[in-house]
Amino acid sequence: MRFGVDEAGKGPVLGSMFAAAVSADPEAIPGGVADSKRLTAARREELAAALREDPDVRVGITEIPPQMIDDPETDMNTLTVRAHAEALSQIVADGIAGLLDAGDTDEARFAARVRRRIDADVHLDAEHGADDSDDLVAAASVVAKVERDAHVEALAASYGADLGSGYPSDETTIRFLTDFIAEEGELPDCARSSWSTSQRLLAEAEQSGLDQF
């Protein structure tokens, strides 16, 4: 029995970040599991469903919403540590060992920070790119990405608009934010207001309004 932990949605300007932890005998992990970015959405959903339905696989999920991300008293590294620890705490037991996908430039520091938040007696390490090298971390990557995708779909339904992926590089996301600000004069609640993209779009809308006078 081992565990793997990864997160999805660390960089978007819209919506929550999710972390997932998966605990199982490595042989119980379905074939074809890989870093979620290298799988189609349909394949990710199939794999996530198989993991959740297997009684020999334990899955933990935690969500970090935009309001928490925007809190000036914290930062993304600390929130990523918190997310990994909270997801892992849902499934971990004494004596189990596993791997985290490192959410910090310093792998050992990230592992140590997560370990301090875990009550159980566990051995854990962190590596960059662990979702490519470890099946359990890859499984966690898949589950986290499916949770994040479902979250974005729910947001799109609530706003009655296409939000795109939520990433700053996505033109659909930027168009949604630009249109919302133009109509409402403020950011939507799902936006990470502290992100530079949000601040830039607000400033551009304000300048556009001034230019009309």
Q: Are 183 and 196 in contact (CB under 8 A)?
A: no
Domains of the chain with CATH codes = 2-155 (3.30.420.10), 158-204 (1.10.10.460)
What global pTM score does this model have? Answer: 0.93
pLDDT tens profile 121-175: 999 999 999 998 999 999 999 999 999 999 999 999 999 999 999 999 999 999 9
Residues in the chain: 213
Neighbours of 74 (CB within 10 A): 13
pLDDT tens profile 51-105: 999 999 999 999 999 999 999 999 999 999 999 999 999 998 889 999 999 999 9
Distance CA 58, CA 5 (A): 12
Is residue 7 a known part of a binding site?
A: yes
Is residue 206 a known part of a binding site?
A: no
Distance CA 42, CA 194 (A): 32
Is residue 27 a known part of a binding site?
A: no
Distance of CA 12 to the CA centre of its chain: 9
